[in-house]
Structure 1
């Protein structure tokens, strides 16, 4: 989990998508997350975390529903939601943290 601390302790907002390959809503978010990452460029960091491969972290953060999206700023969670969102909404949410 120390690597997670390094990931979220960035100078820019960090959007995290907790997902699995077998969860349909998670798979549906793949394109949205790519679009968000492309639109934000270096103004934010966008990270996908597979809960199957990172069970301990997912449990520690109480990730239940998928996908679960979180935004961190300076190491602190500032927003969290489970379920699908469109790219424009996510971009706006991340930009509000910049």
Structure 2
């Protein structure tokens, strides 16, 4: 299995959802992220990172509130947003990166 560092180095944008199972707003994000993943298949990879199980990644990217979405491309942060974000906003950000 590829490491987190390898996954985010992809030329294809990678949307990372930093979440926790106990987080209410994170649960609200789940169907939004599924919609984004389906509508943008091939344009973006969506991965979920549980902050309780992956504290190292959370600390490295200074995730202080959840959910936090970070869009990576070639290992660089292209967009970052904390809180619940609607699918259209997410897709607009992905479209700006995935040219």
> Cα RMSD over matched residues?
1.1
Question: Which runs of no fewer than 5 residues in structure 2 stay unpaired?
Answer: none
Q: Name the TM-score, length of structure 2 as normaliser.
A: 0.93
Which aligned segments of 4 or more residues in structure 1 are displaced greater than 2 angstroms? none
Aligned length: 97
Question: Which runs of no fewer than 5 residues in structure 1 stay unpaired?
Answer: none
Distance between the aligned counterparts of 2:23 and 2:44, measured in 1? 26
Following superposition, the deviation at residue 46 of structure 1 comes to 0.7
Following superposition, the deviation at residue 85 of structure 1 comes to 0.6
What pairs with 1:11-30 in structure 2 (closer than 5 Å)?
11-30=11-30
Q: Name the TM-score, length of structure 1 as normaliser.
A: 0.94
Q: Structure 1, residues 17-74: CA drift from partner, whole Å, max 9, x if none?
A: 0000100001110000100000110111111111011011111111110100001111
